[in-house]
Amino acid sequence: MAQPIMLPRNETGIETVTGILKQRFGDRVQTGASVREQHGHTTTWIDNQSPDAVVFPESTDEVAEIVRICAEYKVPVIPFGTGTSLEGHVNAPAGGISVDLMRMNRILAVHAEDLDCVVQPGVTREDLNTHLRDQGLFFPIDPGANASLGGMAATRASGTNAVRYGTMKDNILGLEVVMADGQVIRTAQRARKTSAGYDLTRLMIGAEGTLGIITEITLRLQGIPEAISSARCSFPSVDAACQAVIATIQFGIPMARIELLDEMSVKAANDYSGLELPETPLLLLEFHGSENGVVEQADSFGEIAADFGGTGFAATTTTEERNKLWKARHDMYWASLQLRPGASGISTDVCVPISRLAECVTAAQDKARELGLIAPIVGHVGDGNFHSLPLIDMSDADEVARAGEFVGWLNDLAISMEGTCTGEHGIGQGKKPYLEQELGAATRYMAAIKAALDPDNIMNPGKILPG
Amino acid sequence: MAQPIMLPRNETGIETVTGILKQRFGDRVQTGASVREQHGHTTTWIDNQSPDAVVFPESTDEVAEIVRICAEYKVPVIPFGTGTSLEGHVNAPAGGISVDLMRMNRILAVHAEDLDCVVQPGVTREDLNTHLRDQGLFFPIDPGANASLGGMAATRASGTNAVRYGTMKDNILGLEVVMADGQVIRTAQRARKTSAGYDLTRLMIGAEGTLGIITEITLRLQGIPEAISSARCSFPSVDAACQAVIATIQFGIPMARIELLDEMSVKAANDYSGLELPETPLLLLEFHGSENGVVEQADSFGEIAADFGGTGFAATTTTEERNKLWKARHDMYWASLQLRPGASGISTDVCVPISRLAECVTAAQDKARELGLIAPIVGHVGDGNFHSLPLIDMSDADEVARAGEFVGWLNDLAISMEGTCTGEHGIGQGKKPYLEQELGAATRYMAAIKAALDPDNIMNPGKILPG
């Protein structure tokens, strides 16, 4: 296990605050070991660093009250949603109070005419889409996990259909945020665009709770397309698949999803999901549009794919076949784990300009082999973003070290290709060493903003920035 | 004329810095009255506040050097592009140095496979699109004026096709910025998405030069659509036109442009551009897609429009007719001025949730009438954004006062409708009184960021925030 840095603990403050919170919130403050551990980081190889207490607020006012109490005694505050983040975002390296926002799970308003809605941070994306379905609307961002919308905002999540609909930064109109001093602010009005002052909305999106706690989110919605069709196509090489993607995007086909599975991932999907696909690189695609439009899009893609050696192209508009394909894609994490039962999967992501994607993916495959690692790859290739999942025996220190070497090497490579060390997982604790390497002096100004908005460093300390 | 606030001048510093810059840059520092006045604010009713000198750097290093010199003596630095901003952004209320970036006008790279390019801030959007045309690419943001891309980034510009392609915030991958201490930073790598740290890119976009000077911009590009078609349609009322827009967007028709002209604007366009349109509210539309796709989109819109009483619907794919229609739209400012020859046009903009748009536009028409003002309206209605252009005899103090009352009233109304006092013109000097009214305590944190990144308040002082 990777041991994240511990930070100095304010023992007296933590004890005092825990006492005050217990008095104020009663049973809604919990200090049992298992609850605390569940609210530390549990989903990857980063060691768990549990908070000292977990509090379950039910309103913005309560969140503000908690933050004010913590601010008075300079005690860390760590916002928590579904705990599905991957880079140690919810760990408590200096201890402190985990603020579990999952009881704030109301959909406050749906404005169908405006194609927006207002939700509390504990609403999950699946809950929201279930609620919206009858109105012919949906919220497009899909990071795989049924994450909370507050967590998705805080980590600037994206996923399979960002190629068409963008990331969280593109789909939020405004936020309500509790700042480090307990003040509640709104970052923007509900208009679809604004040029009124600094873009605090985008500053808070992806700040991973280090600048404030998001307590309300105004989301852009989309109309459910008249027609949806899916397709798959096998390619002789990763390079051929990527070239087909580049041509598709240049041609202006408005792809809703375009996902790459490498050879090893296809094998995993075949075994786990009972598919019978050729075990060569595969693209999974989705088209949104009118009835005629999706047929036209699929036909155009099919022609492009053929130019790059694509075979077995098959499009479908039946919901059943479509769901089967995408369920297989969404199950890739579990499918991949079955390639090596008992191993732990270390999910890492990078994102590069799409012209460099084939080279980056192929190099990652070669490097993993060289290091003796099993590391299947899946990618949101329309964005140049991909995930590698080294499957590691955590009891083998040498193998763990080789996995660490692989992740570091991959980050270096992506950065050298004008890419980023993280396309959608965030910095958290795991990618902190790479942020300055990637952005240099810019990180100094990030630190200046952090110091200005949270002078006592109580908001999710030890994440993103040094210290 | 509206008299913006003057700020205290650092006379000694200004004199010293001007001397140093003259020694360093020779003829590229100018202090003549007419050059200085051209670099103050000239396009609206806000009084000109000229800088003390104008310097014409030719590289990022030179910009950094200028900022370092100004920082040492605590002298204001005001970045300048084409000077087409509308809210006093380039005025010099405390004097200081205008940095004219128009000699930094090189297109540094076009990455066709990645659909991005890297430009210096003095490249105009028309120059860029001329350069890109042979490669089948274009940059979609069109604020009307042939503005510089640096200025468009700094003011978070948008315009007629934001409904499809978003605003500047959605179309920039990363920036190079000279910070207030002269340090040059890059805000992001060239990947299409990132979750690496705070979104300094979006923080700088729309900061109006108050946090740094943008010296390089990495822009997202689009493939030129296979087919483009335009259409127009008259409606019995603003409300009917807006209802048709709402239905169109809900239906998922991917409109590239959807513009409203009110009765008065149609009359102006008829007179100025030799059109013969019925003088009732009009929508101008543009569809981008495949050959079949644009026909389908136009047909679908035509059916929706008919449901809301639309008449005279006519679509065209011929370039000539399309250009005539959009030229008339782009000439609206000049056309409107002809409604009252000799008057000055005061362009103001607000943006509201689209469900409130008809009510807001209609109320604005009524209010203008009540105040005895001639104020045609045009709007980017797909975004809920519209412009009113009171035509004012600037020598009539009472009329100027009534125009001021109108602008204030309209901002209040938009804010009360969950909208913003500025959808795309920015805050500058003109909208400063409304920012706190709109965003309340959030402005305190904007001020904290400003103080952290520019502690001596030398970067375009007196804009956006109080003081």
Contact A418 B136 (CB under 8 A): no
Mean pLDDT across chain A: 95
pLDDT of residue A230: 94
Candidates B196, B211, B442; nearest CB to A435: B196
Instruction: Judge whether B39 and B91 are in contact, CB under 8 Å.
Output: no
The confidence score (pLDDT) of residue B217 equals 98
Query: b/e for A297-321, b at 16 or more Cβ within 10 A?
Result: bbebbbebbeebbbeebebbbeeee
* E strand or H helix that includes residue A70: helix A60-72
| pLDDT confidence bin for A2, thresholds 50/70/90 | low
Measured CA to CA, the distance from residue B43 to residue B249 in angstroms comes to 34
For an interface test with B, give the residue of A141, A164, A445, A450 to mutate (most B CBs within 10 A).
A445
CA distances from B402 to A243, A246, A253, B86, B378 (A): 61, 56, 51, 19, 21
All domains in chain A, ordered by first residue: 107-223 (3.30.465.10), 227-334 (3.30.70.2190), 339-424 (3.30.70.2740)
How far from B370 is each of A424, B375, B405, B447, CA to CA, in Å? 53, 11, 11, 38
Using CB atoms within 10 Å of the CB of residue B28, give its burial: 0 to 12 exposed, 13 to 18 middle, 19+ buried.
middle
Q: Does ipTM surpass 0.95 in this model?
A: yes
Asked if the model's pLDDT at residue A11 lies above 60, the reply is: yes
Q: Please state at what angle helix B432-439 crosses helix B442-453, rounded to 10 degrees.
A: 120
Task: Give the integer Cα–Cα distance in Å for B284 and B288.
Answer: 14
Cα distances from A59 to residues A23, A39, A56, A175, A184, in angstroms, run: 18, 20, 9, 15, 12
Write phi, then psi, for A311 (nearest 5 degrees). Answer: -135, 160
> Residue A386's pLDDT is what?
97
The distance of B449 to chain A (nearest Cα, Å) reads 6
Query: Which member of B156, B354, B464 has the closest CB to residue A114?
Result: B354
B185/A225 CB distance under 8 A:
no
Contacts with A223 from chain B: Cβ below 8 Å: 249-252
Interhelix angle A432-439/A442-453, nearest 10 degrees: 120
Per the structure block, which two tokens stand in for B71? Answer: 């920082």
Phi, psi values for residue A186, rounded to 5° = -110, 130
Burial of B187 (0-12, 13-18, 19+ CB in 10 A): buried
Which residue in A has a C-alpha nearest to residue B465's C-alpha? A197
Separation of alpha carbons B62 and B222, rounded Å: 32
The answer to whether B221 and B138 have CB atoms below 8 angstroms apart is: yes
Best of A198, A242, A351, A412 to disrupt the B interface by mutation (most B CBs within 10 Å)? A198
Beta strand residue intervals within B167-207, DSSP E = 172-179, 184-186
Strand A97-100 relative to strand A77-80, pairing: parallel
User: How big is chain B, counted in residues?
Assistant: 467
Q: pLDDT band for A3, please (50, 70, 90 cuts).
A: low
Tell me the C-alpha distance between A108 and A117, whole Å: 8
Q: Of how many residues is chain A composed?
A: 467
- Encode chain B (467 residues) as per-residue pLDDT tens digits: 466 788 999 999 999 999 999 999 999 999 999 999 999 977 777 899 999 999 999 999 999 999 999 999 999 999 999 999 999 999 999 999 999 999 999 999 999 999 999 999 999 999 999 999 999 999 999 998 999 999 999 999 999 999 999 999 999 999 999 999 999 999 999 999 999 999 999 999 999 999 999 999 999 999 999 999 999 999 999 999 999 999 999 888 999 999 999 999 999 999 999 999 999 999 999 999 999 999 999 999 999 999 999 999 988 878 888 888 899 999 999 999 999 999 999 999 999 999 999 999 999 999 999 999 999 999 999 999 999 999 999 999 999 999 999 999 999 999 999 999 999 999 999 999 999 999 999 999 999 999 999 999 999 999 999 87
How near does any CA of chain A get to the CA of B169, in Å? Answer: 9
**Contact yes or no for A441 and B193 at CB 8 A:** no
pLDDT digits (tens, 9 = 90+) for A198-251: 999 999 999 999 999 999 999 999 999 999 999 999 999 999 999 999 999 988
Distance CA B157, CA A277 (A): 47
Partners of A186 in beta bridges: A176
pLDDT of residue B2: 63
**Distance set, CA B11 to CA A60, A207, B8, B249 (Å):** 49, 41, 9, 55
Nearest to A446 among B197, B225, B415 (CB): B197
Tokens of B291: 């050959």
**CA–CA gap between residue B117 and residue B202 (Å, rounded):** 18
Strand (E) positions, B36-142?
A: 53-55, 77-80, 97-100, 107-111, 116-119, 137-138
- Tens digits of per-residue pLDDT, B286-320? 999 999 999 999 999 999 999 999 999 988 878 88
Find all residues with CB under 8 Å of A27, minimum gap 6, and list them.
none
Indicate the DSSP class of residue B340: S
B43 φ/ψ sector (left φ>0, alpha ψ -120 to 50, else beta): alpha
- Look at residue A330 and tell me whether its pLDDT is greater than 50: yes
Q: How many helices (H) and strands (E) does chain A have?
A: 16, 20
Partner residue facing A196 (CB), from B191, B438, B448: B438
Q: Looking at the predicted structure, is the pLDDT value of residue A84 above 80?
A: yes
**pLDDT tops 80 at residue A301:** yes
H/E stretch holding A330 reads helix A319-330
The span from the CA of A418 to the CA of A432, in Å, is 18
At residue A237, what are phi and psi to the nearest 5 degrees?
Answer: -155, 160
- What pLDDT digit, counting tens, does each position of A140-199 carry? 999 989 999 999 999 999 999 999 999 999 999 999 999 999 999 999 999 999 999 999
Shortest Cα distance, chain B CAs vs residue A254, angstroms: 9
Compute the mean pLDDT over every residue in chain B, rounded to the nearest whole number.
Answer: 95
Q: What pLDDT shows up at residue B317?
A: 76
How high is the pLDDT of residue B449? 98
How much is the pLDDT for B1?
Answer: 47
Chain centroid to Cα B297, Å, comes to 28
d(C-alpha A180, C-alpha A65), whole Å: 11
Nearest to B113 among A157, A179, A354 (CB): A354
- Nearest-angstrom CA–CA distance, A431 and B195: 11
Q: How far apart are CA A339 and CA A449, in angstroms?
A: 44
In this structure, are residues B394 and B346 in contact, taking their beta carbons and an 8 Å threshold? no
Answer yes or no: are the C-beta atoms of B131 and B215 closer than 8 Å.
no
Q: How far apart are CA B101 and CA B57, in angstroms?
A: 6
The two three-digit tokens of residue B403, written as one number: 């125009």
- Token pair for B72: 């040492």
Measured between beta carbons, the chain B residues lying within 8 angstroms of A415 are 189
B-chain CB neighbours of A451 within 8 Å are: 452
Q: Are A403 and A416 in contact (CB under 8 A)?
A: no
Buried b (16+ CB within 10 A) or exposed e, A403-435: beebbebbbebbbebbbbbbbbbbbbbbbbebb
A197 and B169 in contact by Cβ < 8 A? no
Pairing of strands B53-55, B29-30: antiparallel
Q: B179, A296: Cβ pair inside 8 Å? A: no
- A362: which 2 tokens? 């192929």
3-state secondary structure of B260: strand
- Provide the token pair at A226: 């008249």
Percentage of residues in chain A with pLDDT exceeding 90? Answer: 92
What is the Rg, in whole angstroms, of the alpha carbon atoms belonging to chain B? 22
pLDDT (0 to 100) of residue A1? 47
